[in-house]
Structure 1
Amino acid sequence: MSSDLNFFDLFLQASILVQFVMLLLLAVSIFSWAFIFERSKALTFARTEMKKFEDKFWSGVDLNKLYQELSARQSIEGMSSMFCAGFKEYVRLRKSPSTPAEAVMDGSYRAMRVALSREIDSLENRLPFLATAGSISPYIGLFGTVWGIMNAFIALGEVQQATLAMVAPGIAEALIATAMGLFAAIPAVIAYNRFSHQVEKLENNYGNFMEEFSSILHRQALASNADSAARPVSHN
C-alpha cells in the first residue's frame, strides 16, 4: 500500500489557519535552535573565562597589576567584571583615610553585587524565550490539530458515502501540527533546563568568589587602618 501524500502536499491542502499554525511553529523552532546554539556558546565562554581568571587570581598575582591588566581590555565579562567593580570601589573608598574598614567593604561588596546582577541577566538572555517556546508550542500544535480534525469531520458530514480515504488527508495534516509543536517544544525544554542549571552553577561560583575576595579586601582594609593608627602624629 502506497500513498502519494507528503508533508508539502498536506501543508498546501491544509486550511489557512492550520498553515499559519505550522509556519508559526516552524519559526519558533528555528529561533529556538538559533538561541540554543548562541546560549551554548555564551555559557561555554563564561565557564572558560571563569577558569582562566581563577587560575590567575589564585596564582598570587598582585591585585593592582591584575586590575590594570583587566581594565585595559575593551570588554570585561564574568568574574573579571566583579573583581574590577569591587576593587575599583575599594581603591576609591580607601583614598579617604577616615573611611572605616566596614564602610569600605560595604561599598565594594555592593559594587560586586551590581556586577553580579548584570552578569546573571546577560547569562539568562534568551532563556525566557526557550521556556515560553517549550510551554506553549504543544498547545499551539494541538490547536491546529483540533481545528484541522474539526474541518475534516465537517467536510465528511457533507457527503453521503464517507470513506477513510476522504478523511485521512485532513486528519493527517492536522496531526502534523501536533508533531511540529512537539518538535519545537522538546529541544527548547531540554535546553532551558540545561542552561538554567549551568547559569545557577556559575552564579554560585560567582557568589563564592565574591565572599572570598571580600575577605581578602577586608584583611587589607584592617591592615591599612592599623598602619595608619600606628603612625606617629606630628605637631606643628
Structure 2
Amino acid sequence: MSQRQPRRNGEDRSGQPASTLFAKSFAAKRADMRHPSIPLAALLFAGLLATPALAQIDPETLPHDLSPWGMYLQADWVVKSVMIALLLASVATWAVLIAKSLELRTASRVQRRVLAATDGARTLADAPATPHKEVAPALIEAARAEMELSAGALADGDGLKERVESRLVRLEAAAARRMTRGTGILATIGAIGPFVGLFGTVWGIMNSFIGIAEAQTTNLAVVAPGIAEALLATALGLVAAIPAVVIYNHFTRRIAAWKGLVADTSAAVLRLVSRDLSRGVARDGLKAAE
C-alpha cells in the first residue's frame, strides 16, 4: 500500500491548489450566465403568459368618452338619477338666489323709506301708510286701526299701547315668516347634497367592482371609467351643496338686517302712538267728531 502524501497548505483533498478550484468555479458560473438553462427560460415564458395582456381586451368595448356628458350617458340608472337630482337642486339654489335677492332689495328699500318718514312724523296721522304689500305701511295701518277700535277706552293709555304693540309684534312675526320662505330649501340642499352624491359614488364603485369581476382583469382601462363616473356624482353633490350653504348664510345676514329695519319701524310707530296719547290728539279728535 502506498502511503498518503501529506497535504500542503492551500491544497484540498484532490491535491489541487485552492486558487485553481476558485478559478474553475467562477468560470463555470459565468458560462451559466451566458447560456441560461432551459428551465429558467421556460419559467420566464410562463410568466409572460400569465400576465394580463391588452390584446385580450377588445378596445372597441372600452369607453373612450370621459367627458362629463359621456360619463353620464355610460353611468348606471341609479347614478344617473342621483346626478339629475343634484343638477335640479343646483338649479333651485340659483333660482332662489335670484328671486330672494330681488325680494329683499325691494323690501329693504321700502322699509328704509317708510322708516325715515315715520321718524320724521309728528303724529300717527302724518305717518305714510299708502297701500303697499310691504310690512312698514301695514304697521302704521295696524296702529291706526287699533286706535279706532279703542275709541271708547283711550283714557287707558297703557292698555292701548299694549294692544298696539301686540298687533305690531304679530305683524313682524308674519312678515319674517314670509321673508324666510324659500331659504329652507337652501339649508336642505347644503346639508344632504354631499351625502346624495356620496350615495351615487358608492353605487358606481360597486358596479365598477362587479365589472372588474366579470371582465376578470384589473386593467386600468377597464377600472378607471367606472370609478370616474362614480366620482362625478360626488363632484355634483359638492357643486350643489357648497353654493347652497354660502347663499343660505348670505340670506340669513340680509334677512337679519331687514328684521332690524322692521323692528325700528315698529318702535317708531309705538312712539307716535305714545306721543298722540300724551298730547291728547286722539281724544280731541274724537270729541270734535262727536
* Category of TM-score, reference length = shorter chain: 0.7 to 0.9
Count of residue pairs the alignment pairs up: 222
Cα distance in 2 for partners of 1:227, 1:195 equals: 44
Look up the match of 2:183: 127
Q: Does 1:8 align with 2:69?
A: yes
Alignment match, 1:110: 166
Match of residue 49 from structure 1: 110
Match among 100, 118, 121 for residue 39 of structure 1: 100
TM-superposed deviation, 1:226: 11
CA drift at 1:51: 1.5
Which residue in 2 is equivalent to 1:209?
Answer: 265
The SS at the match of 1:4 is: coil
Q: CA deviation at 1:159?
A: 2.5
Q: Could you tell me which amino acid in structure 1 is paired with residue 195 of structure 2?
A: Y
Partner Cα separation in structure 2 for residue 120 and residue 31 of structure 1: 22
For 1:122 and 1:131, the matched residues in 2 are separated by 17
In structure 2, the residue corresponding to 1:161 is in which secondary structure? coil
- Residue in 2 that maps onto 1:20: 81
Rg larger for? 2
Deviation at 1:215, TM superposition (A): 2.7
- Greater relative contact order structure (CA < 8 Å, 6+ sep): 1
Answer yes or no: is the 8 Å Cα contact 2:276–2:282 preserved in 1.
Answer: no
Separation in 1, partners of 2:180, 2:102:
13
Contact 2:212 2:222 in 1 (8 A): yes
Structure 2 contact 124–273 (Cα < 8 Å) conserved: no
> How do 1:155-166 and structure 2 match up within 5 A?
155-166=211-222
CA distance in structure 2 between the aligned counterparts of 1:166 and 1:29, rounded to whole angstroms? 31
Out of 223, 227, 230, the position equivalent to 2:279 is 223
Q: Could you tell me whether the CA contact under 8 Å between 2:161 and 2:273 is conserved in 1?
A: yes
Q: Give how far 1:167 is off.
A: 1.0
Distance in structure 1 (CA, Å) of the matches to 2:141 and 2:281:
22
Identify which range, 117-126 or 196-205, moves more after superposition.
196-205
CA contact (8 A) 2:118 2:265 kept: no
Q: Check conservation: 2:115, 2:261, Cα contact below 8 A.
A: no
Which whole-Å CA distance do the structure 1 matches of 2:213 and 2:282 have between them?
93
Q: TM-score, normalised by structure 1?
A: 0.86
Q: Please, what is the CA RMSD of the aligned residues?
A: 2.2
C-alpha deviation, 1:191, in angstroms: 0.8
Structure 1, unpaired ranges of 5+? 232-236
Structure 1 residue 143 corresponds to structure 2 residue 199: yes
Would you say the 8 A contact 1:104–1:221 is kept in 2? no
